[in-house]
Amino acid sequence: MNKQDKVLNTDKRKAVTITALFVATIIIMFLGLSFSIFSIVNNVTFKVLSSDMPGAVFGLLVLYLGARYFLSVKKLKAEVYKNTSQFSWSNFKKEKSNKAMS
């Protein structure tokens, strides 16, 4: 396998992974929206700290988180497709912050 085939294979894997992440975030948003609608139609409430909360609030929260994840995946896509990006295990290590003693 030559170098160009490896690059094309890697790009296909990147595309599949990014597409899967986009699909997952869209599913999360759809589930949040559908739960909100279901809660409104069926008058669903949840007991939270001894008060009743409408289920639509939780559905909207899930919708919001899905939208946030969607934007995060969009930023990730831009980073992944840069020519300089490559996989490194060091990306998963926590960076120690060096704070000067005052």
pTM for this prediction: 0.71
Please state, in angstroms and rounded to a whole number, the distance separating the CA atoms of residues 5 and 30. 37
pLDDT per residue as tens digits for the range 15-58? 888 899 999 999 999 999 999 999 999 998 889 898 989 989 99
Please state, in angstroms and rounded to a whole number, the distance separating the CA atoms of residues 16 and 77. 11
- Cα 43 to its chain centre, rounded Å, is 29
pLDDT at 82: 78
pLDDT at 98: 66
Decide which of 86 and 8 is more confident: 86
pLDDT per residue as tens digits for the range 73-82? 999 888 887 7
Q: Where in the chain are the domains?
A: 3-76
